[in-house]
Amino acid sequence: MATMSFREALNAALDEEMARDPKVFLMGEEVGQYQGAYKVSQGLLEKYGEDRVVDTPITELSFAGVGVGAAMLGLRPVIEMMTFNFAILALDQIINNAAKMRLMSGGQYTVPIVFRGPNGPAHMLGAQHSQATENWFCNVPGLKVVAPSTPNDGKGLLKAAIRDDDPVIFLEAELMYNMKGEVSDAADYVLPLGKCHVKREGTDVTIISFSKGIHHALGAAEELAKVGVSAEVVDLRTLRPLDMEGIARSVKKTNRVVTVEEGWPYGGIGAEIAYRIQHDLFDYLDAPVTRVTGLDVPMPYAENLEELVLPTPRDVILAVNSVLYRS
C-alpha cells in the first residue's frame, strides 16, 4: 500500500486508464497547461499531448456536448468540471443527451463518458460555489452517480467509471483533495460500481453516508465507542444505483439507522434511503430512520454562519442517541 493524497490517487487513476486505453481522453477548463484547477491532471499534458488532454473555453454546455458526441462515436471522454456548480450550465447535455441516448437510439449508441470534478460545500466560497449536487443527478434514469470518501476508493472507482459503458457522474468532495490515505498498489486496482462498503463494523446502530460525510460518521462512531455504543458506518460509494442488499445486511444487524449528508434535506439522498428502508425493512427497525443534513438554506459566505449550516460529528452523535432513545 502506498500513501497518497486524494488528488494524487485520482491522478494515478487517470494516468493508468489513459495508458491502458488510447480511447480515453481528458477535457475541461485548465486541465492542460494549468494542470487542473485542483491539480488532478498534473503531468498528463506532458505525457499524453494536446490531443488527449484538451483545454477548453469557459463553456460547460459546449464541451459537455463535444464529450457526449465523442462517446457516441466510440471514445471514452473524461470531462472535468472545475466545480459541479458549473455543471448546471451543462445539464441539457448531461440529462437530455448523455442519460437518454442509449434508450432513444434503441441501444444503437452507448455513452461511455465520465463527468468528474469537485462537489459540495467548500470553505467560504458562498452560495453559488458550495452546493451539493448529488441528489439532482441521482434523480435522472440513465446516469450512474459515484461519490468516493477516501483516496483508495477514489482511485478504484474512477478507473471503474472510465471503463463503464454508461455515463457516470463522479463527485469529488472539494475539501478532500489534500486528504491522505493508503492506496492499493495492485497492478490494476478497480472497485465495482454499485457496491457499498462497511468502513467500521458495529452492532447498535447503522450510520449511512458517502463522500466527506463518511468522516463525520467515523468521527461520531469513535466518540460513541467511548460510551459503549457500537456504530457501524456504511459508505455508499455509489449513490445510483444504491446497494440495497448491502444496506439491508447492516440494518438487519443493528435495527437502527442514521443517514448523514452535507446537502439540503428536501429530496436528499437520505430521504430516498429512509423510504426504501421503511418500505423493505420495516419489521427490522426498532426506531424511525433519522437524517442528518445541512440546513435548508443557501450557503452563507461568513465562516461562522457556514459552520452553523453544515453537519458535524456532534450532530451525528445526537441523531444516534435519538434512535437509541438515549438522553
User: Hey, which residues are catalytic here?
Assistant: 60, 129
Residue 227 has phi, psi (to 5 degrees) of: -110, 20
The amino acid that residue 297 corresponds to is: V
What whole-number distance in Å separates Cα of residue 232 and Cα of residue 251?
Answer: 10
Q: Count CB atoms within 10 A of the CB of residue 77.
A: 26
Q: At what angle are helices 269-280 and 244-254 packed, to 10 degrees?
A: 70
- Return the residue matching grid coordinates 437524517: 291
DSSP string, 248-299: HHHHHHH--EEEE-SS-STT-HHHHHHHHHHHHSGGG-SS--EEE---SSPP
Residue 141 to residues 91, 101, 135, 290, 317: CA-CA distances in angstroms?
A: 14, 11, 12, 26, 34
C-alpha cell at 56: 477548453
The amino acid that residue 321 corresponds to is: N
